[in-house]
Amino acid sequence: MLEHIRDAKTPKEAWDTFVTLFSKRNDTKLQLLENELLSMAQRDMAVAQYFHKVKSICREISELDPTAAIGEARIKRIIVHGLRPEYRGFVAAVQGWPTQPSLVEFENLLAGQEAMAKQMGGVSLKGEEEAKAEALFNDILMRHMAKDCWTKKKPVESNTATSCSKENSEDGWDAEALFATEEEELALTVTTPERIDYKNDWIVDSGCSNHMTGDKQKLQNLSEYNGGRVVVTADNSRLPITHIDKTIVTPRYNTNQVQLQDVYHVPGMKKNLLSVAQLTSSGHYVLFGPQDVKVYRDVKITETPTMEGRRLESIYVMSAESAYVDRTRKNETSDLWHMRLGHVSYSKLSVMVKKSMLKGLPQLDVRTDTVCAGCQYGKAHQLPYDESKFKAKEPLELVHSDVFGPVKYVWVFFMKEKSDNFSKFKEFRDSAEGEVGKKICCLRTDNGGEYRSNEFSQYLRECRIRHQYTCANTPQQNGVAERKNRHLAEICRSMLHAKNVSGRFWAEAMRTAAFVINRLPQPRLGFVSPFEKLWNIKPTVSYFRVFGCVCYVFVPDHLRSKFDKKAVRCIFVGYDNQRKGWKCCDPISGRCYTSRNVVFDEASSWWSSEKEVLPDSREFGDKLQQKMGEHDVQLQTSSDESEDPNGDDVEQRVTQNPWQIGVYQQPNEEGGPSETEESIPQSQLRRSTRIRRPNPKYANAAIIEEATEPETFEEASKSSELMTAMKEEIDALQQNQTWDIVPKIKDVKPISCKWVYKIKRRPDGSIERYKARLVARGFSQQYGLDYDETFSPVAKLTTVRVLLALAANKDWNLWQMDVKNAFLHGELDREIYMTQPMGFQSQDHPEYVCKLRKALYGLKQAPRAWYGKIAEFLTKSGYSVTPADSSLFVKANEGKLAIVLVYVDDLIIAGDDEAEILQTKENLSVRFQMKELGQLKHFLGLEVDRTHEGIFLCQQKYAKDLLKRFGMLECKSTSTPMEPNIKMCAHEGKDLEDATMYRQLVGSLIYLTLTRPDISYAVGVMSRYMQNPKKPHLEAVRRILRYVKNTIDYGLLYKKGEDCKLVGYCDADYAGDHDTRRSTTGYVFKLGSGIISWCSKRQPTISLSTTEAEYRAAAMAAQESTWLIQLMNNLHQPVDYAISLYCDNQSTIRLAENPVFHARTKHVEVHYHFVREKVLQEEIEMRQIKTDEQIADLFTKSLSVGKFEHFRRQHGVIQRMEANIEGEC
């Protein structure tokens, strides 16, 4: 372009040159675009693609020639001209509307018809049958628009093909009409070897709603038509009906004369049409063949049909999904109720209908010889064993119990391990006996180890429950539970296969199966349901629906904008015991919720049989067992059904809130509901055109329910374990004389208190103990009034790592102790009054308050008071407080060390003075109530393992819980926590609807960096956007979680026998922050083989050069090295050498060694020259290192896979199995 204006002397000459070059229209391109527009056709394009292409060409033409802009009306005509033939009938109907839709509305309507066509089978007929299929399809579409279309405001008064005309007005026509176009005439001419005689022949039309002819001579006795109906054809022309009478039809291929009743005479019609619907209504059967069509008075069917449809008003359709979704309510059949009732046998269904055993069950015509494909897939038969002669006389007289893989049962309890069986049985006994009002007399089980433990047997003896075992290898003696397992599995498979539901919904299918079976009459109970037998209430089934069917959930007005969808398409997954509503799930987004405003399309399935067919029953069951084998579920049976061969059950109990799917799922672009009807998020107007498929890792509908920590005293009081824990806490407080019960002082407002509950778990997830803590609500305290100073004895995590590294290097033992009720030992220097604890108020003086004598958890001064006590005790025992860390106490005796590290009420004791350590432990146990925890294994979520090489430190359980909490446990893994060379920006991308989840994610990952330096940089970068996170930030955090999934068992290894010297590395990424252009500091220090301290932090100011950025990083590393030297000296590990600090920038090294101020560094703050002073004092020594060997590079930028893994190993971050854990080798 510059070549054209090179010789221009003034800006005006340059501008005139540009005007001459570019002001003329490009006539050639304009002609090409117009030619392309005139020849435009849809062909294989989708409606959205076709519209986009036409509008793009029109836009280009308008830009090239603004004087000939193409209007919306012309664009619509061009689009209609190029549409595929199957849309012609629909377009003709739309053109007959009084108010024409806009171009955008027209595109939306066509897209809806395109989707409907795909639902009806997606097969386009070609050749001979094309026009006939088009006419029938148009008939269906036009019928929808007349009766159910959202644009028509007046109700339709008739379901026939004609409508009542009101004074021949434009609004009085019904689109359910005859479709006989010129295309059809041509098609019929081609399809037969002989030419059709339209004057005499009658055309059999399945889309025509009434016999009609244009030849008045064919009617025998003309009776004038006095109705108000007209006939509307596909081109929107209206033909009047003048006469109605009967006629005689004589087919040309035989001599049988047939009389037709109620034939319309329609002047102007060129064909004689026989209506299939009118023929079948009179009791005839119409059979279409490849070469002919026959009408029978009666037909006997011997073959099983390959396809089966049903009649909807005057036409026949193969899929009810193409009709209005609520039509299924008008067509309740025995097959529908067979599926609603959990694929109950047809014979049992027939009995239930005849005897009206269930409320809401309509009168049905049940054929007992019907074959259900779902039942064949899901059920199998086996020869029965002889039945037991014993029959229980009342509920809970005999309880059958068994454990069956991933199956849920009546009183449902989830177990991660079979060892949880005992606690679950106790819970079952408490709830069952309380609800039924009876006592369990006998428990019959198999010989599983979960039933033979000493504590289980002792508990049964205390409760006076007889325990019966089955003989070895004889599960038939516990046949009720075993049959119930089989029965539930069969019903579950049947429901899944009948609707081709994905296997990940097995848990909801199992819950629904149990719910339904509970309410079905059982022969052994005198055809009374277990629910009615137990609660004396006849169950209602009118709200039952087919599991897995398509449903539409209403979205309330306040949760959507004006043009958003008013319903969300989901699948039905069961019933809710806590709410009066149906539970539904969106398989695309995985979001689940409960609502009463649901419309069901029970004849339809989300997954077509061609696209997703579940494996056979046995194969499915085996895979189900393998997939969910890690979880065991206990099953309890009431004895009322001990003789039931079908193994039906009693009322189901489900813990509240089984759906843990919500904000932690993948964002839903469709904007579906979240969890309940009240929490449906607002959807976006913009729609993506890509095909979405269910993502099992975000839509895991089969979520395992675990014991949760209660929030209130009312919830905790229902647990015997927590009540015991609260009693122990109160006893400890009273023994410690924590308070006195005194009358309430008039002008003093006591602070309140609350119970806090915690379920302590082992690393494998099993429950270790239940813990209850009484906590004062210290937030109501006022500074200077009832407290002065605060301090919490919290050891630095770097101190913990230094201690572990020394213990590994010198092969010290590590002991752990826990102080029971540590804060209760602190003395108070202020008068503080507190309300009496809930559940343990004084019986004599409930209005009194507690005057605290000693500290209590929750008080602002409680940590400081406890620290004063423990520090005083250790100081008197000869320990000294280290200046480097006030929570670290050291005692040296003749070259031997004893070290105590305090973290609130957790103590780590280490050193090589075994006698002193033993004495210290004894003294602590005498002075305080201590709990001896043995060798250090778990500390603040850190897992400490002794290996043959040293000490391995990791957070594997924490990482697994983190992934599980945020729904990423089954996600795909990745090799690096961040994409290489990615640049994050603060203002790019869409805002998150809820930033809380993002902050929780990043906060949880920050704690994981205590043992995972490999994610420090990535987590540090993402923590910069906590204030206003965007969608790309959330995706980047999810990538970190995917990396954690890949390296879940990685940690730090501190080897023994290594050269125990401090070595440092520092680096900086110049102007790495894209928003502020500030640099990133990274440093790391190693003690022996493992790293003990590291940092990845954005610098507070902008650096003007790489040297300045590196110099600032070196200064921060020098500060850390000074503290580490002090800490090592306090631990009697003298650092009598200059610490090597490696840097890959030569200018930085020269600047640190040279005291002269240069012009380019005179602006650097004085405190950054701290590194220069330390170099001169020979405390550190700056050394040159190659960039490829600079391991601190891991903390300044995202690296490639090879470089990242190399540096990670240099840091000592390895896999757990590589550490050679003792006891696992």
Assess contact for 284 and 256: CB atoms under 8 A. no
Pairing state between β 1139-1143 and 1090-1098: unpaired
User: How far lies 388's CA from each of 384, 442, 641, in Å?
Assistant: 12, 16, 12
- CA trace torsion 1138, 1142, 1148, 1150 (10° rounding): 50
Residue 691 CB contacts under 8 Å (≥ 6 apart), including other chains: none
Assess contact for 137 and 89: CB atoms under 8 A. yes
Cα 245 to Cα 219: distance, rounded to the nearest angstrom? 6
DSSP string, 518-577: HTS-BGGGTSB-HHHHHHS---B-TT---TTEEEEEEPPGGGS-TTS-SEEEEEEEEE-S
HEC states along 97-142? CCCCCCHHHHHHHHHHHHHHHHHCCCCCCCHHHHHHHHHHHHHHHH
Cα 861 to Cα 856: distance, rounded to the nearest angstrom? 9
Cα 444 to Cα 47: distance, rounded to the nearest angstrom? 65
Active site residue 844: no
DSSP string, 483-513: HHHHHHHHHHHHHHHHTT--GGGHHHHHHHH
Return the sign of the alpha-carbon dihedral for residues 576, 580, 582, 586: negative
Q: For residue 258, with 0-12 CB atoms within 10 Å meaning exposed, 13-18 middle and 19 or more buried, which class applies?
A: middle
- Which of these is catalytic: 205, 644, 648, 1073? 205
The pair of structure tokens assigned to 73 is 């009306």
Cα 620 to Cα 642: distance, rounded to the nearest angstrom? 29
HEC states along 1006-1042? HHHCCCCHHHHHHHHHHHHHCCCCEHHHHHHHHHHHH
449-488 in b/e form (b: 16+ CB < 10 A) is ebbeeeebeeebeeeebeeebbeeeebebbbbbbbbbbbb
Assess contact for 420 and 767: CB atoms under 8 A. yes
Assess contact for 935 and 814: CB atoms under 8 A. yes
Cα 925 to Cα 919: distance, rounded to the nearest angstrom? 10
Helices (H), 1058-1139: 1106-1130
Nearest CA-CA partner of 1021 in 1080, 1091, 1065? 1080
What single-letter DSSP state applies at residue 656? S
The pair of structure tokens assigned to 626 is 């393998």
Token pair 């009194």 is found at 848
- Which residues sit opposite 288 in a β-bridge? 293
Assess contact for 478 and 444: CB atoms under 8 A. yes
| CB half-sphere exposure, 979, CA atoms < 13 A | 10
Q: Locate the DSSP E strands across 289-437.
A: 293-296, 310-312, 315-317, 399-403, 413-415
Sheet holding 549-554, edge to edge: 592-595, 582-585, 567-575, 549-554, 598-605
* Alpha carbon 148 to its chain's center: 35
Cα 1209 to Cα 1215: distance, rounded to the nearest angstrom? 10
Sheet holding 1080-1087, edge to edge: 1090-1098, 1080-1087, 1062-1069, 1139-1143, 1180-1184
93-103 in b/e form (b: 16+ CB < 10 A) is bbebeeeeeeb
What single-letter DSSP state applies at residue 976? S
Report the catalytic residues.
Answer: 205
